[in-house]
């Protein structure tokens, strides 16, 4: 090897060594801290609270906008996991998700297993019958009839109290509505705003709601009993969104009117 070549290779090695050494140093620009992820479970077949946008495949709805706004307020990135409604509380108990938002009614029984945020939506149960039905007008008329409900819901609990009624339980609310349309049941007992949305979407030709709402219920965001810190943070974020007008904006977007005071 010529002297020149040796000198050159020494130089190359030197440069390489410096370059490599540089890699180990912390001279790299600091990466921005990744926002923490909030794993949220929801049964995303309950419009207008949670459902999948057919085109974008995104989960949308009142609950979805609300939980995203809450996440933003807490500096967390919300990741929604779709699951069966009756799997939400077990998933929280097992620690598979951090929170559940799913138009879930705050009940004493559920509150034994999970923590609930402050109420964020006032709801209630109503009954849906086929549009051409003129005999079923009140819950009393459902005695001895066939009723479709979603498994694990307050609607299922209430329907089971109706005398001599045959209860058909479905995994999702849309399946219960389909059964009504097909004539397999006489009525569906389910959350009023969801019933109204379904009827409006179908242009009122398939079904209608009748009678007075059966119950008054409040929806809450569920968290694990073990994570009281998260429950507090969610409540704080909710307060903040109510103060800064964001909650009202989301409410108006989905229900076309201002939230009741």
Question: Is 46 near ligand ARG (CB under 6 A)?
Answer: yes
Angle between the 173-182 and 192-201 helix axes, to the nearest 10 degrees? 60
Residue of the chain from 59, 85, 120, 170 that contacts ligand ARG (CB under 6 A)? 85
Could you give the CA distance from residue 209 to residue 221 in angstroms, rounded to a whole number?
27
154 binds ligand ARG (CB under 6 A): yes
Sign of the CA dihedral running 244, 245, 249, 250: positive
DSSP structure string for 56-119: T--EESHHHHHHHHHHHHHTEEEEEEE--GGGHHHHHHHTS-SEE-SS-B--HHHHTTEEE-S-
Q: Please report whether residue 169 would count as binding ligand ARG according to CB under 6 A.
A: no
Distances (CA, A) of 96 to 83, 87, 163, 192: 11, 11, 38, 30
Stretch that binds ligand ARG, among 2-10, 64-72, 133-141, 149-157 (CB under 6 A): 149-157
Binding window for ligand ARG (CB under 6 A); candidates: 2-10, 52-60, 99-107, 141-149: 99-107
Phi, psi of 20 (to 5 degrees): -65, -45
Which of 173, 180, 217, 221 is CA-nearest to residue 197?
173
Residue 92: count other Cβ atoms within 10 Å of its Cβ.
23
Query: Cβ of residue 156: shortest distance to ligand ARG, in angstroms?
Result: 8
Q: Is 102 in the site for ligand ARG (CB under 6 A)?
A: yes
Shortest separation between residue 121's beta carbon and ligand ARG, angstroms? 9
Least distance to ligand ARG, CB of residue 85, Å: 4
Contacting residue, 153, 223, 224, 235, with ligand ARG by CB under 6 A: 153
- Closer to ligand ARG by Cβ: residue 110 or 130: 110
**Of the candidate residues 186, 191, 198, 238, the single one contacting ligand ARG (CB under 6 A):** 191
Please select the residue that binds ligand ARG; options are 73, 105, 195, 224, rule is CB under 6 A.
105
Report the nearest approach of ligand ARG to the CB of residue 46 (Å). 3
Shortest gap between Cβ of 183 and ligand ARG (angstroms)?
A: 23
Rounded to the nearest whole angstrom, what is the least distance from the CB of residue 250 to ligand ARG in the complex? 17
Q: How many residues bind ligand ARG (CB under 6 A)?
A: 13
CB atoms within 10 A of CB 101: 27
Q: How far is the CB of 72 from ligand ARG (least distance, A)?
A: 22
Judged by CB under 6 A, which stretch of 21-29, 128-136, 147-155, 198-206 contacts ligand ARG? 147-155
* Structure-token match 């946008």, residue found: 53
Residue (50 or 141) nearer to ligand ARG, CB: 50
Burial pattern 28-64, b for ≥16 Cβ within 10 A else e, equals eeeeeeeeeebbbbbbbbbbbbbbbeeeeeebbbbbb
CA distance 104 to 91: 14
Binding residues for ligand ARG, rule: CB under 6 A, are 43, 46, 50, 85, 102-105, 150, 153-154, 173, 191
């Amino acid at each position: 090897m010529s002297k020149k070549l040796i000198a050159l290779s020494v130089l190359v090695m030197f440069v390489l060594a410096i370059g490599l050494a540089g890699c180990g140093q912390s001279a790299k620009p600091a990466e921005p801290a990744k926002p923490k992820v909030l794993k949220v479970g929801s049964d995303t077949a309950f419009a207008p609270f949670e459902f999948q946008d057919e085109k974008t495949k995104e989960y949308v709805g009142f609950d979805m906008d609300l939980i995203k706004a809450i996440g933003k307020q807490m500096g967390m990135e919300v990741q929604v996991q779709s699951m069966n409604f009756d799997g939400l509380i077990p998933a929280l108990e097992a620690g598979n998700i951090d929170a559940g938002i799913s138009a879930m009614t705050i009940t004493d029984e559920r509150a034994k297993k999970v923590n609930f945020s402050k109420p964020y939506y006032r709801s209630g149960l109503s009954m849906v019958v086929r549009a051409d039905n003129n005999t079923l007008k009140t819950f009393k008329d459902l005695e001895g009839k066939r009723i479709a409900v979603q498994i694990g819901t307050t609607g299922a609990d209430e329907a089971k109290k109706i005398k001599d009624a045959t209860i058909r339980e479905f995994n999702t609310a849309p399946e219960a509505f389909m059964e009504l349309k097909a004539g397999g049941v006489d009525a569906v007992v389910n959350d009023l705003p969801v019933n109204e949305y379904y009827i409006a979407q179908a242009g009122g030709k398939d079904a209608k709601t009748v009678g007075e709402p059966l119950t008054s219920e409040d929806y809450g965001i569920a968290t694990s009993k073990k994570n009281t810190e998260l429950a507090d943070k969610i409540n704080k974020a909710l307060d903040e969104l109510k103060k800064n007008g964001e909650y009202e904006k989301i409410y108006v977007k989905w229900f076309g009117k201002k939230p009741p005071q």
